[in-house]
Amino acid sequence: MPTVEVVDLKDGDFLLDVREDEEWQAGHAAGALHIPMSEFVARYGEFTGTAPQDGRVNVICRSGARSAQVTNYLVQQGIDAVNVAGGMQVWEAAGRPVVTDEGAPGFVA
């Protein structure tokens, strides 16, 4: 499965967060698109309407397991998607910002 390390992501790279609502509300990467894995197929049109048409989709969850499943699904659909290794746990540990919807500092739940 295609994978990317957190340290290789640049500001402005498209990030799809597939964690559940409670996890997202505790803290997430600013600018990420949030569609929980449990709702992903039903909300696929929302994803395709937002995702870059000619760019890579970086998929993230808490640890990398759920995002791996979504990445596999997207690759099967012909989308250039990669799993973010280690997920939001590694994101936070690398010192990347984690925020709430209000822009306050958040945490990875």
Q: Which residues are catalytic?
A: 61
Chain centroid offset of residue 59 CA: 4
What is residue 17's three-state secondary structure? strand
Chain centroid offset of residue 87 CA: 8
Chain centroid offset of residue 49 CA: 16
